[in-house]
């Protein structure tokens, strides 16, 4: 599920070199400026006016280097329903990002090379263009970019290259990773007519009006909607089962969505968004949820930076308590999609769970489905066999992100203290490593996590 605002980290080799060069030259110039001043004062062979001119020139060079460093440090591409926002290294413009509305997108050029490289060029009506090396974009981010172009940019009808990108997407992944995701990608990129609802459209037998899209991805979307009678806000989750031509398969999928809604309606926890209803309209399944106000953890980190100390431990503890409740239900409930985007900090500084993107019954003999975000999914979940321990893995990955500001490497045990600027206590860091152990049986339970975190708060 992509956020309504998508962020892709991307930096060209040239921007990286310029950034490092500016980082090195700036302190050198500062030292040289101080040296010039001291020499000029000591020897006295320069007039005050000439010395000031030299110092002023050096100051301009230093300020220019600082500006170059700041601009070349920008490695984020923002994608919203309004358009694309590129850093100066991709579309040069002094001090600000270059904005390109979707209406300005004129074409896509997709090229592959014999050595395995894949290049995507976005061409705009003003003849400017942005070329992206797809090897530098993580699979999940590339997925979001393709979906955004498909939904907001005009789709495959206007840009046939999208189909070629989709068919070759697996070349961006490692061999083992591709094998795990083959089934998911085939389903995700199957030809569909799914188009998210637009603001102003009516649903729920014309009782609700769509205010805005909150998120979208694949065959689903999430909206903020209002009750037309009292204007009360709700969250509406929309899912569409692809028409594969197999009626029995579609019926089974619809039944699974219905059972999921019934199961979620039994969840009763003050920090979990309530499910009010489930309905079907125009061949699409909807779940109506409670709207909770707050800032999701991804945006929290984006605006306030990585969290640390007692604040980080408290966030982790509250998430663990939510997981403990879900795993303690009868039967236990596996969330399967625990990520920073699905957890918000409300106005009272408490953490709440806002979306059950992939919740399902815990059945020992059942085969799970590959749902969720790659960086936060346990290896066994990628293989289609999610367990309670899979949520623990996602918990560890989520806390890793909150502590470091970086998405964890897929299918790898996390060690937050290896990230620059992150310093967790030894016990806390070891707990995160255990939570993301590749072997499910070695991960702690939610109750054990809570016990460790409470001891951390008492230190």
Mean predicted confidence (pLDDT) in 81-105: 79
Tokens of 356: 């059950």
Mean predicted confidence (pLDDT) in 236-258: 70
CA-wise closest residue to 384 among 336, 445, 441: 336
The lowest-confidence range among 192-206, 264-278, 330-344, 416-430 is 192-206
Residue 282, pLDDT > 70, answer yes
Mean predicted confidence (pLDDT) in 68-75: 82
Distance CA 398, CA 392 (A): 10
Tokens 């967790």 appear where?
A: 424
pLDDT more than 90, % of the chain: 28
Residue 342, pLDDT > 50, answer yes
Q: Say which CATH topology domain 202-290 has.
A: Phosphorylase Kinase; domain 1 (3.30.200)
Distance CA 174, CA 229 (A): 52
The lowest-confidence range among 18-32, 198-212, 368-382 is 368-382
Q: pLDDT class for 250, splitting at 50, 70, 90?
A: low
pLDDT of residue 114: 60
Mean predicted confidence (pLDDT) in 243-269: 72
Q: pLDDT class for 331, splitting at 50, 70, 90?
A: confident
CA-wise closest residue to 278 among 262, 290, 254, 256: 262
Mean predicted confidence (pLDDT) in 22-51: 81
Residue 224, pLDDT > 70, answer yes
pLDDT of residue 187: 46
Neighbouring C-beta atoms of residue 111, cutoff 10 Å: 12
Q: pLDDT class for 96, splitting at 50, 70, 90?
A: low
Which of 8-17, 90-99, 105-114, 381-390 has the highest average model confidence (pLDDT)? 381-390
Which of 38-52, 151-165, 360-374 has the highest average model confidence (pLDDT)? 38-52
DSSP conformation class of 272: B
Domain boundaries, the chain: 3-73, 83-188, 202-290, 294-458
Which of 1.10.3720.10, 3.40.50.300, 3.40.1280.10, 1.10.510.10 would CATH assign to domain 294-458? 1.10.510.10
Q: pLDDT class for 327, splitting at 50, 70, 90?
A: very high
The pLDDT mean for the chain works out to 81
pLDDT of residue 357: 54
Query: DSSP assignment of 354-367, as one string?
Result: ---TT-EE--TT--
pLDDT of residue 366: 33
Do 294-458 and 202-290 fall under one CATH topology?
no
pLDDT of residue 181: 40
Burial class (CB in 10 A: 0-12, 13-18, 19+), 28: exposed
pLDDT of residue 450: 98
Residue 437, pLDDT > 90, answer yes
The lowest-confidence range among 88-92, 308-312, 352-356 is 88-92
Tokens 């999701």 appear where?
A: 296
> Is 217:1 a contact under the CB 8 Å cutoff?
yes
CA-wise closest residue to 333 among 286, 269, 288, 278: 269
pLDDT of residue 173: 42
pLDDT more than 70, % of the chain: 80
Which of 10-24, 76-90, 237-251, 444-458 has the highest average model confidence (pLDDT)? 444-458
Mean predicted confidence (pLDDT) in 392-420: 92
Cis ω for the linkage preceding 23 (within 30 of 0): no
pLDDT of residue 55: 83
């Amino acid at each position: 599920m992509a956020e309504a605002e998508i962020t892709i980290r991307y930096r060209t080799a040239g921007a990286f070199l310029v950034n490092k060069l500016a980082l090195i030259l700036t302190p050198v110039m500062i030292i040289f400026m101080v040296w010039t001043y001291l020499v000029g004062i000591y020897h006295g062979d320069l007039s005050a006016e000439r010395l000031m001119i030299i110092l002023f020139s050096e100051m301009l060079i230093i300020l220019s280097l600082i500006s170059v460093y700041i601009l070349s440090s920008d490695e984020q591409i923002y994608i919203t329903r309004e358009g694309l926002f590129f850093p100066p290294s991709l579309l040069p413009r002094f001090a600000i990002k270059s904005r390109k509305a979707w209406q300005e997108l004129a074409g896509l050029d997709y090229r592959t090379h014999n050595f395995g490289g894949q290049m995507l060029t976005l061409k705009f009506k003003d003849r400017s263009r942005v070329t992206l090396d797809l090897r530098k974009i993580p699979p999940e981010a590339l997925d979001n970019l393709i979906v955004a172009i498909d939904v907001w940019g005009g789709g495959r009808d206007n840009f046939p290259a999208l189909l070629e990108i989709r068919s070759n997407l697996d070349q961006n992944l490692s061999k083992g990773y591709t094998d795990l995701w083959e089934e998911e990608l085939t389903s995700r990129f199957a030809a569909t007519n799914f188009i998210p609802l637009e603001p102003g459209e009516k649903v729920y037998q014309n009782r609700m009006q769509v205010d805005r899209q909150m998120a979208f991805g694949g065959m689903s979307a999430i909206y903020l909607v209002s009750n037309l009678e009292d204007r009360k806000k709700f969250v509406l989750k929309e899912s569409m089962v692809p028409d594969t031509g197999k009626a029995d398969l579609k019926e089974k999928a619809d039944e699974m969505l219905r059972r999921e809604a019934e199961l979620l309606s039994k969840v009763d926890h003050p920090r979990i968004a309530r499910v009010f209803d489930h309905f079907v309209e125009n061949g699409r399944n909807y779940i109506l949820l409670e709207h909770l106000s707050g800032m999701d953890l991804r945006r929290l980190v984006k605006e306030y930076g990585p969290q640390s100390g007692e604040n980080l431990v408290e966030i982790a503890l509250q998430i663990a308590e939510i997981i403990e409740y879900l795993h303690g239900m009868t039967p236990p409930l596996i969330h399967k999609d625990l990520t920073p985007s699905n957890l918000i900090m409300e106005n009272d500084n408490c953490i709440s769970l806002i979306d059950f993107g992939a919740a399902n019954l815990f059945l020992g003999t059942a085969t799970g489905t590959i749902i969720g975000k790659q960086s936060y999914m346990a290896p066994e979940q990628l293989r289609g066999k999610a367990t309670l321990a899979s949520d623990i893995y996602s918990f560890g990955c989520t806390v890793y992100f909150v502590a470091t500001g970086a998405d964890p490497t897929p299918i790898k045990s996390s060690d937050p203290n290896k990230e620059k600027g992150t310093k967790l206590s030894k016990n806390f860091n070891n707990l995160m490593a255990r939570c993301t152990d590749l072997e499910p049986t070695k991960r702690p339970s939610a109750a054990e996590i809570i016990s460790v975190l409470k001891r951390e708060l008492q230190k």
